[in-house]
Structure 1
Amino acid sequence: MSRQPRLQESPGIPSSTRNGLEIYIFTNFQTKELPNNAPPSKTVPTFLALYSFGFIYELVLVWDALRLKNTIQVIGLCLCNVGLLIYGAVQVQQIRTSINTLAVMSKIDLVVWSESEPFLIIIPCIVALGTLLMSFVAWKLYDEFAWTIYKHISADLRMKRRYLTYQIFIALLKFDFFFFLGFTVQFLVVVSSSSHDAEFYLTIVAVPITIIILACSAWFVRRESMVGMVAIILLFFAAMAYFCFKLYRMYDQQTAPEYLPARTSMVFFAVITLCLIVATIINACMCANNFNCGLKPHINSKEDKSEEKLTELSSNMGAAPVPSRMMID
């Protein structure tokens, strides 16, 4: 009998424990802070909100990766978890600085830091444990997904490489969205919320535009539109210029004080986003180079409703049947 994929799920205990700690830190901070509009007061809520959104977004991507049997996305999720681990570690010092600043302003008691510090340290440790468990599950799923792809692509190594390039590009778009959004939220909430200048409103407008650009990127690569891909690549270069400009403003003497409450984490998000954009541009060029090489029918045919064929590939290609993999007792 043919071997059916076993879709394993990562344990939920680390996630639920982490969420409980985040709720405690947030509640403790909010109840002991006096009302104020100072940027440091928004550091803790923003950090916890981003962290929570990050793991919710990861859950969606996990479901998406299992649904499409996308090995690259599963591996990317493990790397994304490492990024969230680093972000959690970076935020410890930033939150401490914010609480100290609020204490100087007599807006909060320093005891809040001593009460929160152990839990802020524990959270990255829990994320590290979850990352190890996720990596183990990803390793187990690798063989299952590789077998499914083999059955659709067969032994054509060149086609498999083209499909791998396509998978990487689609996965990069999904991670581009999260890190861009994370940077934007911190800018809007912590840095620019009190000024509401032109840059504030332009940044708000940039969010839906970015979503449209990312969606168009996926559509153009599936339709093998060379004109569309060239336009997308140029837009990604513009995004690179934007983040380089933001990094410059974070350390410019005139504007650095505005970014100081969230500068460490914003630099982290900006650098990660820049790296992702560079990788996306390179991969977009590789995908464009693969146009008109036979991959388009594989990724655009209608999906079969059966579990075995529910992937980003289609089996309606008229290819020679691939023998079933047998289980040996």
Structure 2
Amino acid sequence: MVSWRPETRLEWFFFGTTTVQAFTNITIQTVILVTYLNWVNSVAYQVPISYVIPLTLCVNSLGCLFQIILTLDAYRIKNHIQVFVQCAANICLSISTVLQYGETRHAVSRILVNHDRYGTPFADVDWPFWKKISPGLMVCTVVTCVSSAIMCWLARGLYREFSWALYQHVSPDKKIQTKYAVYQIYLVLLKFTPYFVFAFIIFYDFIDVHFQEPEFSLTLSIIPATLVHVAIAVYFVRHERRIGMAFVLLLHAANIAYLISRLLVLYGHSFLADTLLKDEMVFYLCVGVVFSTSALLAGCVCFYNFKKGLRPILLGQVQRKPRAHELEDDYYVQRLNYNVVPLADRDSQRFALD
């Protein structure tokens, strides 16, 4: 049975760090969101400025929750590559939390001086909203930055614990090990890229495009399309289907082209270039381009490695004969195909590559 539970002391410390970060940020930002909804008047929702604070709070909270899920997933497959990428992602989350503080302060100042055409203010100007929430945002910033530092420090120890597991049950052949490492890198990038792309799309669609059709619906449709893209990418790369993988790589290139086109729009001369949350949009956009480009490159290398001895390992068709005085468990089968083959069915199988 696949285990998501931390086992070693370092695993518990790493999981505890991401859990404390998520619990602190989500709790504080939920309180801020409820306070904000009680502070603003309904007329404020007619303009994009009213969406800035709720969107930044939700995106940041989802990022912290996503980190917990990825931590448990890394323990499930004992992947040190994913731990390192997770540290990089958490640093990006720290930067976005710093940007969130400034964007929230700017949004509050804009809301306080605005009103609708009938003179109804956007919010209760007599209540010190910013004074009440700014300490909470500062706590979120400090917690996220400290968590990133602790995660990077713990990642070194987890590397020593996980590194043997990535290759021990793959093959003694160094070339096969290298191909398998690229495959693992590609899968990790597929997990992390959607968050940054989705964060940008949410900000861009609700703040900049702001319900203008047909761009609003077309942009929003990228979210389910990306999820389908990830699913077929995992299937085709594991089963080494050349035509399907070529289509997946084409979609990677299309995603990069779209993100770059939005970057040109944000720095262009159209009305979309003059937008709220521009710094945060550009940040998520740039990170999304980096992750998407890295996924494209890793996918191309995987495509090049098709039909070169890795497919039987990825599908769990290659089993390892235990050495003398060695206890065999279901762990390595979980790493390769996530399906546990009963030990009784594996006793007579040999480790061999097709």
Q: 1:135 aligned to 2:159? A: no
Deviation at 1:283, TM superposition (A): 0.8
Rounded Cα–Cα distance in structure 2 between residues aligned with 1:319 and 1:303: 6
1:289-328 aligned at under 5 Å gives the runs 289-301=304-316, 306=329, 308-309=331-332, 311-313=334-336, 318-319=350-351
In 2, distance between residues paired with 1:229 and 1:114?
Answer: 53
Where does residue 233 of structure 1 map in the other structure? 249
Paired with 2:170 and 2:332, the residues of 1 have a C-alpha distance of 12
Give distance in 1, aligned partners of 2:166 and 2:285: 34
Partner of 1:54 in structure 2? 63
In the alignment, structure 1 residue 243 sits paired with structure 2 residue 245: no
- Bigger Cα displacement from structure 2, 286-295 vs 167-176: 286-295
CA shift digits 1:90-121 (9 cap, x unpaired): 12211111111111104233832232223222
Give the TM-score of the pair, scaled to structure 2: 0.82
Alignment match, 2:193 = 176
Task: Provide the rounded CA distance (Å) in 2 between the counterparts of 1:198 and 1:306.
Answer: 54
- % same residue: 25
Structure 2 match to 1:66: 75
Q: Tell me, in whole angstroms, the C-alpha distance in 1 between the residues paired with 2:210 and 2:330.
A: 47
Q: Give 1:190's aligned residue.
A: 207
> RMSD over aligned Cα, in angstroms?
2.5
Whether contact under 8 Å (1:40, 1:102) holds in the other structure is yes
Q: Is the 8 A contact 2:21 2:64 kept in 1?
A: no
**Paired AA for residue 350 in structure 2:** G
Q: String of CA shifts for 1:186-216, please: whole Å, max 9, x gaps.
A: 2233233443x10111122222111111111
3-state SS in 1 of match to 2:220: helix
Which residue in 2 is equivalent to 1:107? 122
1:159 Cα offset (Å): 1.4
Report if aligned partners of 1:69, 1:311 keep a CA contact under 8 Å in 2.
Answer: no
Matches for 1:1-329 after TM superposition, within 5 Å: 6=8, 8-9=11-12, 10-11=15-16, 12-35=19-42, 36-37=44-45, 38-105=47-114, 106-108=121-123, 109=125, 111-195=128-212, 197-256=213-272, 260-301=275-316, 306=329, 308-309=331-332, 311-313=334-336, 318-319=350-351
Asked if the contact 2:209/2:272 (under 8 Å) is kept, the reply is no
- Distance change >3 Å, CA 302–CA 94, structure 1 → 2: farther
Shift of 1:307: 5.0
Could you list the runs of 5+ residues in structure 2 that have no partner in the other structure?
A: 1-5, 115-120, 320-327
Query: Counterpart amino acid of 1:211?
Result: L
1:198-242 Cα shifts (integer Å, max 9, x gaps): 011112222211111111111111111222222222221111121
User: What amino acid sits opposite 2:30 in the alignment?
Assistant: I
Q: Deviations over 1:245-299 (max 9, x none)?
A: 2112223332236x61222211111111111111111111111121112111111
C-alpha contact (below 8 Å) 1:149/1:313 kept by paired residues: no
TM-score under structure 1 normalisation? 0.87
**Distance in 2 separating the partners of 1:97 and 1:24:** 19
Residue matched to 1:324: none
Give, in whole Å, the separation in 1 of the partners of 2:210 and 2:280.
17
**CA distance in structure 1 between the partners assigned to 2:336 and 2:152 by the alignment:** 24
Higher relative contact order (CA 8 A, sep 6+): 1
Unaligned 5+ residue runs, structure 1?
321-329
What count of residue pairs does the alignment treat as equivalent? 315
The one-letter amino acid of 2:134's match is: E
